[in-house]
């Protein structure tokens, strides 16, 4: 795969893991966290902004928010089953906009979001 970029996503599926999320971390590079189940996030005690996407149970993105800043709260997104928190720029880099579908594996603790850039193709592999 030429010029491949991948974003490693860890799954937080317990109350404690979801509540803590990325709080108190100094930074994240090429990784993120999926809070599940989740339909809203807070940025209390965060040290840096992040991109977030809200995803329904079928893997369809319902809302993308770029650069959510520390000490802010996201809206509550109806029908959201998962929220994926990622480094700023991830929404554009991986084309993660409303209506896009992604594959969320069942019974795994992590997965990858990737994009492949070839000279003749620009195809998402999610």
In angstroms, the CA 117 to CA 71 distance is 35
Per-residue model confidence as pLDDT tens digits over 72-101: 999 999 999 999 999 999 999 999 999 999
Give the homologous superfamily in CATH for domain 7-114: Protein of unknown function DUF192 (2.60.120.1140)
Is pLDDT above 60 for 54? yes
Q: Quote the tokens at residue 30.
A: 């090429």
Instruction: Quote the mean pLDDT of the chain.
Output: 84
Distance CA 94, CA 107 (A): 24
6-20 pLDDT, tens per residue? 888 988 888 888 877
Q: Strand 31-35: give its sheet, edge to edge.
A: 61-68, 50-55, 82-86, 31-35, 5-12, 110-117, 122-125
């Amino acid at each position: 795969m030429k010029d491949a970029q991948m974003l490693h996503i860890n799954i937080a599926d317990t109350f404690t893991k979801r509540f803590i999320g990325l709080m108190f971390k100094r930074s994240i590079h090429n990784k993120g966290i999926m809070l599940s189940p989740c339909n809203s996030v807070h940025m209390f005690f965060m040290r840096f902004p992040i991109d977030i996407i809200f995803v329904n149970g079928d893997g369809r993105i319902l809302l993308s928010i770029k650069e959510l800043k520390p000490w802010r709260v996201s809206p509550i997104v109806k029908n959201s089953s998962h929220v994926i928190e990622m480094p700023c720029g991830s929404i554009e880099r991986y084309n993660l906009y409303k209506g896009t579908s992604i594959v969320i594996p069942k019974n795994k603790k992590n997965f990858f979001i990737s994009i492949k850039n070839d000279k003749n193709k620009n195809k998402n592999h999610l």
